Structure 1
């Protein structure tokens, strides 16, 4: 190699080394992470909300983990799993499991109702209706299920629907007859697992939230407001349903009482990134942000969202007080 070529090669190597050093000497801005534990029934809308929020806030990376609301709350309160936000399908899970130790407040942001989901291939799909569904579910060849009431609010709400149906249709013993035709293997940890069982033909019918049925394009049967847990005006009737579920410690039990479906969300006290979490909550709970997505996906939001007391509203961080009203 002649001297001029050698010189050019040496200069090229120096430039390459300089570029490598320069890139590593100026670190990229660190991405903030916001960890959200949430109900499985919020998986589809939160995926959309996450995408929209990250597009407008490129410095924040949303990390979500879904499951039965009771299970997710216990992961925070009992196992100490790090999380910034907890969103529950039953706001009472936050009240009973996270407040006061792990959270200070609880915003109610959406409602829902239970429906009976199925597919065109489900047994008796061409015959089932609002008047005979409980007869179809008692047939020995029909496979139906629900989520685990100890882990997932949709599970204990499914049992409440069956109890309320017994009263509404004046069918003594209906609840026991239905449960007798539902083996334990048909009880799954979270309600969204039942969707795949329906779509693969391994289950004929499953209890889900209306929003989940719409989002997963399932056929579904809507029920009378007296039993679907979707209308707060029937809360007095819903109170007749009670389901005993496991408490925090082994061998201890608590009783869940029927009430219209209400979702809750909170900021975890020892959140790794409270500032980023508040930014997400402000978007999530705005009527032109997350609440708009929920509405589009079949889950009616509360606009504005709700807290039970003025003291709780005053305790909210950031702009959250402007997004809520005080309402029992």
Structure 2
């Protein structure tokens, strides 16, 4: 098995024009809503660096990007900047007339993260080395697979999509059902910390 990275667009969408604000017109507080998976990058790196460079206070809020986009579109959440990892949530804002365009600025790969103290760590290491198919490890009894909610988080949607593609690519009928179960499977859905 070749080691493959499933590429997905990381559309770090910066819509500073969301409320028609320019940097000069912005108050001393910069409110940024971002996809939950961007938490570390936004809160530990980009946010503080931008705040320092532009002499503003950074205030970040991370959640599922679709949920944030819907709150912004409904005018329930005020933000100066919105960062999404996929274009779908941006479409919500475009349809609401809040954004005209957005630009992808980076990309990422889908990967499987596991605990080195997991009883299956050796198996996952072998899968990473191409010695055993990764999807076989995920089907072992006792393996707990966690993902985010595909209804509110593009990353959750990308996981489902990745498994659908893997099912076809690896000729593994019913792989989606064998590993994920139902698309909305509460036993697997977790929020990002």
Instruction: Give the root-mean-square deviation of aligned CA atoms.
Output: 2.0
Corresponding residue pairs, total: 159
Equivalent in the alignment of 1:56: 53
Supply the distance in 2 between the matched residues of 1:148 and 1:184 (Cα, whole angstroms).
Answer: 9
Supply the distance in 1 between the matched residues of 2:108 and 2:68 (Cα, whole angstroms).
Answer: 20
Larger radius of gyration: 1
Structure 1 portions without partners, runs of 5+: 1-30, 194-328
Equivalent in the alignment of 1:72: 68
Do structure 1's residue 135 and structure 2's residue 103 form an aligned pair? no
3-state SS of 1:108 partner: coil
Structure 2 portions without partners, runs of 5+: 1-26
Question: Shift in Å at residue 114 of structure 1?
Answer: 0.7
Supply the distance in 2 between the matched residues of 1:62 and 1:133 (Cα, whole angstroms).
Answer: 40
What's the TM-score once normalised by structure 1's chain length? 0.45
3-state SS of 2:113 partner: strand
Supply the distance in 2 between the matched residues of 1:44 and 1:141 (Cα, whole angstroms).
Answer: 30
Mapping of residues 194-205 of structure 1, within 5 Å: none
Supply the distance in 2 between the matched residues of 1:158 and 1:39 (Cα, whole angstroms).
Answer: 15
CA contact (8 A) 2:66 2:88 kept: no
More strand as a share of residues: 1
Equivalent in the alignment of 2:174: 173
Mapping of residues 187-198 of structure 1, within 5 Å: 187-188=189-190, 190=191, 192-193=192-193
What's the TM-score once normalised by structure 2's chain length? 0.75
1:185 to 181, 184, 187: 187
